[in-house]
């Protein structure tokens, strides 16, 4: 009989998934900053790159709390979301719609992260890992704040008058 998997296993597997995802995001954000046309979008992507570095460090602490090595596990979902973003960079290069497209990709990333951190946080609570709850919540709150900033940036980028003003 196969050994029965527990919520502990699921927690660890999902932690590995988000560690892998954050490392991919860390590499993608500077590319998105280079591609973006507006200064606000560029600055936003770079700021979140720095936050992402801190999030990876918090995840490493969570691995430490459960006594496991901080090792990622391939996350196909984030690879798919990032490659769609790369497609937008190529296909919309030099167009007025580029930033709106980049921001929409970034929001898909944030929503993936929010889903993961929300789940991990509630599992950590069920497992009685109070310190992990605090660390995961810190990451979750940064993702939520980033998503809200992106909504505001996206509204400006999708509004031709606002993006013209931003370019002046």
Task: Give the binding site for Fe ion (CB under 5 A).
Answer: 52, 55, 110, 113, 143
* Closest approach of Fe ion to the CB of residue 139, in Å: 6
Q: Give me the least distance between CB of 77 and Fe ion, in Å please.
A: 14
- Give CA–CA dist 73/79, Å, rounded: 12
Q: Judged by CB, which is closer to Fe ion: 17, or 110?
A: 110
C-beta separation of 84 from 109 below 8 A: no
Cβ nearer to Fe ion, comparing 51 with 86: 51
Please check whether residue 36 is in contact with residue 42, taking contact to mean a CB–CB distance below 8 angstroms.
yes
Q: Of the two residues 16 and 163, which places its CB atom closer to Fe ion in the complex?
A: 16
Please state the closest distance from residue 1 (CB atom) to Fe ion, in A: 38
- Cα–Cα distance for residue pair 13/73, rounded to 1 Å: 8
Name residues whose C-beta falls within 8 Å of residue 75's C-beta, 6 or more positions apart in sequence: 17, 18, 20, 21, 24
157 Ramachandran zone, left/alpha/beta (phi>0; psi -120 to 50):
alpha
Minimum gap (Å) between residue 13 Cβ and Fe ion: 18
Query: Smaller CB distance to Fe ion: residue 99 or 143?
Result: 143
66 closest CA partner among 123, 4, 2? 123
């Amino acid at each position: 009989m196969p050994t029965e998997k527990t919520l502990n296993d699921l927690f660890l597997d999902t932690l590995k998934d988000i560690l892998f995802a954050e490392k991919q995001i860390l590499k993608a954000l500077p590319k998105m900053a280079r591609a973006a046309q507006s200064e606000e979008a560029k600055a936003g992507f770079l700021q979140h790159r720095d936050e992402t570095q801190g999030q990876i460090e918090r995840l490493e602490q969570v691995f430490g709390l459960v006594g496991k090595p901080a090792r990622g596990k391939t996350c196909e979902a984030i690879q798919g979301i990032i490659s769609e973003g790369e497609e937008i960079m190529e296909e919309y290069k030099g167009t007025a719609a580029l930033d709106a497209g980049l921001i929409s990709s970034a929001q898909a990333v944030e929503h993936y992260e929010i889903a993961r951190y929300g789940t991990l946080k509630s599992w950590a609570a069920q497992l009685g890992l109070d310190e992990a709850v605090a660390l995961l919540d810190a990451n979750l709150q940064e993702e939520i704040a980033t998503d809200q900033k992106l909504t505001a940036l996206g509204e400006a980028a999708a509004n031709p008058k606002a993006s013209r003003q931003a370019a002046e």
